[in-house]
Each structure stands twice: as C-alpha cells, then as structure tokens.
Structure 1
Amino acid sequence: MKKRTSVPRLGFFLMGEKGLAVLRNHIRVFGKETVAYVVTARDEGVLRDFCEEIHALCKKNGVTVLDRKQTPAAKAAYALAVSWRWIIPRRNLVVFHDSLLPAYRGFSPLVNMLIDGEKKIGVSALLASDDYDAGPVIAQKAVPVSYPLKIAKAIKMITPLYCSLAEKIAGNILSGKPVSGKSQDESRATYSLWRDEEDYRIDWSRNAEEIKRFIDAVGFPYKGALARTNRGTFRILEARPVADVRIVNRDAGKVIFVRNGKPVVVCGRGLLCITRMITQEGGNALPLKQFRTRFY
C-alpha cells in the first residue's frame, strides 16, 4: 500500500483589504486544505478594517481563524504576513511590505510614499529578520502612479501585486522549492516612522500641492486629515490647490477668500481651497460661517 504524503500547509497573519484579497486568492488557487490557520486582528486606526470579512471567509471554508493574542496549534511549513504590524515569533516567515525595499522600511510606507509624491508604488516580499523590513528580498512588484491619487485607489492598485507575489511564493513552497532572497543594499535604506492621531494634523507651512497629497494619503479608510481652528477641530476630506496671489504678510493657515462657502487657505506656498470638511462627529462643516478663521 502506497504511503500518503502530507500536503504542506501555510499559516497566514492577515489584516485589511490586501490581507483579505491574498487569502481569497490563495484558497481559490491552491485550495482551503493548504491553509493551516489564519491569524487576524482589529485595526482601530481605520474606518474599515476587513476583520469581519476575513472571519467570514475562514468560516465559509472551514479554516481555523485566531485572534492575534492566540497561539496557532497547527503546524505550517511557512507563514505569510500581510499588513501585519506585530512581531511574529517564528521561523520560515515571509513578510509582505508596502514599499520597494530598502526604501521606506517601517510603518505607514504607502501613506508616506503618496505624501512624498513617489512616481511608483509597490510591494516587497522578504524573509523576516531580527531588524524589521531588513531581511533578504524574495521578489518585488511595482506600478507607476500619477497625482492626485487617493489612498483607497492606491490600495486597490497594489492589491493585485500582493496576490500575484503571494501566489508565486506559496506555489513554490507548496511544491517543495526552496525560498531564498537577495540581501538589501543598506546604503539605500530609508525609514518610515509610525503614525498616531497627531500625525493626521495638516502642516500649513508646506506647499499647497504637498498638503493636497497629504489629505488624499490619509483619507478613507483612514480617518482623514486633521485641522484645528479657532472654532473647533475638523477633518478635511477634499481640497484642491488654486492659483496663488501676492500676500505681503503671508501667514500660513489663515483664510484669505471664501468662495461659494468654501474657504481658501494660505499655505507656505500656494493656496488650498477646502471643498469637503466634516466635524469630528461626521457632520458637514461647510459652508464656512466665519471668514476670520485660522487653521493650525
């Protein structure tokens, strides 16, 4: 009687839209029996974290799904981590990172790439190392971009890149091929710092084009750019640069015009017309009722 060979299985540490898409594609291509477990978590920093959708997909396919504080009991040849932000204490771990390493190692890389106006965005698959995002790179994929570009659209643009890379790497693992990568060039490494609520605040001393990119980069599924005024705190969701004028006493953050109820704000360079602004409770904050408003 021929001895049955066991099918290798993979573990998944997943969050967000990209994590859901990777898992869905993996099950479609390789079958649910190749999934040893899925670990997921809530993300309080976004308005939609896809945690329920990941749970629903696992339940539909009979896949074990765990909270991040639970330890997987099932054995996995490798684990794949997508949009994961915590340390995973295991070997044979493939991490998917939102940048073209060694640039933008660390946190919120896609947000910072959009703020910086990078000409292309993408994903790197790498083997985990002791220092975050510094391990050997297995493969990368990129897509060119132009601006204006909102974060929600950017996520949708790179999600297929995640699925393609994960499918290729998972296929190699499941067929018994070795997983290896190329060492990163440390001289080209840059780092992207973590962000908290204070980092949503608009810096009006910057130029209007950069502030526009910032507003688009921290919009949905994030909470939106933060602007404090002498009337309260607001979220700016939509804005557009407008032609500058000569200002003899330039003071970034002050409203210079109100056009059809929409404030035009002085920036370090250029002007920015706010076209959609909401209160912290989600109500519409336009039209602007007080001309003498300072954003800071």
Structure 2
Amino acid sequence: MIFQKENTTRTRENDIYVFILMKIIFFGTPEFAIPSLKKLIEAGFNIAAVVTTPDEPTGRKGTLTPPPVKIFAEKNGLMFSQPTLLSDDRFFEEFKGLEPDVCIVVAYGKLIPKRYLEVPKYGFINIHPSLLPKYRGPSPIQSAILNGDSATGVSIMIIDEKMDHGPILKQIEYVISKDGYFYDTQKELADIGANLLLETLPEYLNGKIIPRKQNDGQATYVGMLDRHHGRIDWAKSAESIYNQVRALSLNPGTWTTLNGKTLNIFRPEMFELASYDKIIREKNRLLIRASNNYISPTVLQLEGKKILPIKDFLNGLGDDNIIIA
C-alpha cells in the first residue's frame, strides 16, 4: 500500500514551524513502538503517516498477521504504508512527497537509507532501549538481562548512516529487577521511552538541546538472538542460566533435552544444596545441577505437549527416569 496524499497546512512563527503542527512520519513495527505513537497522538502532534513492515505468516498454518503498529494505525485512522523494501523508488517518492519535518523511529526493524535521512529538516529521531553506546544493535534489552546487568536505560538519538551510531539527545537510566523478565522489562522501557520522547522532542525542535556525539571507543554491539542462544548449558553457573531464562524464555525460547526430547524451561528458581547429584526429583519439585548450584523450573513444556506447572509435569512423567542434556 502506497501513501495517499494528505493536505496539511503549515504555519510559521518567527520562521520556525510551530512544532505541534510539524509533519511527523512514524516508523515502527512491534508492540514496543505503540506507547510512543500513542503519546505523540495524545499530545496533539501531527502524525502525517506511519511506516511499518509487511504482514508476516505466523503459527503452524502460516496465517498472515499484521504487525501491532499497523493494527494501531488502522484503529486510529492513521495513514500507513508497509513497504517491503525501503530501496523501492516509488515508495521513496511518496515518502518525500509528504514533506515530513521530522521522522520518529521506534523498533522499525530496518536500517534507514541515507537518501531518506536527508529529507526531513530535523532528521530521524530514534528511541533505543539501552544507554548508548552500550548495546548497539537489535537485542539490547535481552542482552542486558542475559549479561546480568543491574541497570540499562533509554537513549533518544539522531539516526545517521551507521547502526545506533548517531548523536544523543537525552538518556535515562533504568534499574533492572533481579527477577525481571524480558517481557516486563521491555514493557516498562517502552513506556519510559515514550515519556522521554515527549519530553525531548519539543526541546530538540525548539533548539534547546545540543546533540552529543557518542564515544565510539566505548561502543558494544549485539546481534539477533535465535534458537541456539536459548540452548541451556548446564556447565554454566545457576545465575547465568537463570538470567538466560529471564532474557530468552519468551523469544527465542530457553530449552534443554529430557530423554532426548526438547524441554522448554520457564520461570526457574535457584537453590543452594549440599549435593552433587545431577538430578534431584521430589514430589513437586525438580532440581537440575548447574556448575555451582541448582536450577528448579516451576513451569515447563515438553516437545509436543502443553505448558504445565512442575507438579502436573512430574505427574505426567510417572516413574520414568529423567535424563537432562
């Protein structure tokens, strides 16, 4: 779907567009982006259009499913487009024809080509859920939890040609709960980022913020996390495995094998016991030895089966021997 032209009148005040009437094009895809888009609308900003990714097949039947931002845009009567490639010349001309003053990017999922960056007067502003230059890349929240960090944050930055490299406008720190899982942490950071954007954008548009260059010497990079990152290595510490489940159990999943079948592990607890047995099976508890202490999953899912609490899971196993690998 290509944009339909919208008639919008600009006004000037001392040769500067009144920011509340500036044309904004919003780029975003997942649930994480919605709080920011919603805040902009509620504050009265002019969302000229929304750009999101194409519908994708999901589930066993491969049903085409729209991204959350598309669903939100449709419900709120926003003009939107779902280009397969930003290199599409026709889409670029439509984008340019909207004459955006500034573009906001929140978890869009694709790099923005240089020619797009040159169109809006105030550039492309991005919300990145880390304290840049730490954790540049697509998995900053999961990486912070995976590494056992006690804090992370949100950065509002200007996009340039390199990934998460542009100058910083504002940052805010966020303390990660010791028991915080990715889903909950992501939701909180999405809300924090939306509020910080609403605070930062008017100040930036009014020239009250001087962008601050990132220290490239302190930059760290994280890539996409896939199924193999979720494989549990029981030779690691219990703390490391616990953090792995907190970070990855939702997506791409944390797993091991039980008697040769894939076993997904959710919501583990850690225990210190004076034992070196690999497996300790009790009536309502299963303890698996890590390098130092024990991990006790409270919710599990065996390959081809439903997700079950540990009590029901163990009842279903009967007296079978348990071999974890």
TM-score (norm 1): 0.84
Shift of 1:178: 7.3
Q: Answer whether contact 1:99 1:123 (CA < 8 A) is retained.
A: yes
1:283 aligns with 2:306: yes
CA RMSD, Structure 1 to Structure 2 (Å) = 2.7
| Secondary structure, counterpart of 2:291 in structure 1 | coil
1:109 aligns with 2:140: yes
1:62 aligns with 2:77: yes
Return closer, same or farther for 1:144/1:38 CA change in 2, 3 Å cut-off: same
Q: Percent of aligned pairs with the same residue?
A: 21
1:147-167 CA-to-partner distances (Å, cap 9, x unmatched) read 111112212221222112221
Give runs of aligned pairs for residues 26-105 of structure 1, distance below 5 A: 26-31=40-45, 34-41=46-53, 51=66, 53-69=68-84, 71=91, 73=94, 74-89=98-113, 90-91=116-117, 92-105=123-136
1:189 aligns with 2:219: yes
Q: Which amino acid aligns with 1:61?
A: N
Shift of 1:45: 9.5
Q: Answer whether contact 2:125 2:158 (CA < 8 A) is retained.
A: yes
Distance in 1, matches of 2:58 and 2:159, equals 24
Distance in 1, matches of 2:201 and 2:35, equals 14
Distance in 1, matches of 2:212 and 2:172, equals 15
Shift of 1:113: 0.4
Distance in 1, matches of 2:183 and 2:23, equals 32
Structure 2 gaps, min length 5: 1-8, 13-20, 60-64, 86-90, 118-122
Residue in 2 aligned with 1:271?
294
Residue in 1 aligned with 2:180?
149
Shift of 1:213: 1.6
1:50-72 CA-to-partner distances (Å, cap 9, x unmatched) read 95543343223321112142636
| Greater relative contact order structure (CA < 8 Å, 6+ sep) | 1
Distance in 2, matches of 1:117 and 1:233, equals 26
Q: Which amino acid aligns with 2:172?
A: K
Return closer, same or farther for 1:186/1:43 CA change in 2, 3 Å cut-off: farther
Q: Answer whether contact 1:111 1:151 (CA < 8 A) is retained.
A: yes
Return closer, same or farther for 1:60/1:159 CA change in 2, 3 Å cut-off: same
Residue in 2 aligned with 1:227?
256
Shift of 1:172: 3.9
Shift of 1:291: 5.7
Q: Answer whether contact 1:99 1:110 (CA < 8 A) is retained.
A: yes
Q: Structure 1: which 4+ aligned runs deviate by more than 6 Å?
A: 43-46
Shift of 1:261: 4.6
| Secondary structure, counterpart of 1:117 in structure 2 | coil
Shift of 1:179: 6.6
Q: Which amino acid aligns with 2:236?
A: R
- The number of residue pairs the alignment matches comes to 281
1:214 aligns with 2:244: yes
| Secondary structure, counterpart of 1:105 in structure 2 | coil
Shift of 1:107: 2.3
Distance in 2, matches of 1:45 and 1:270, equals 38
Distance in 1, matches of 2:216 and 2:173, equals 20
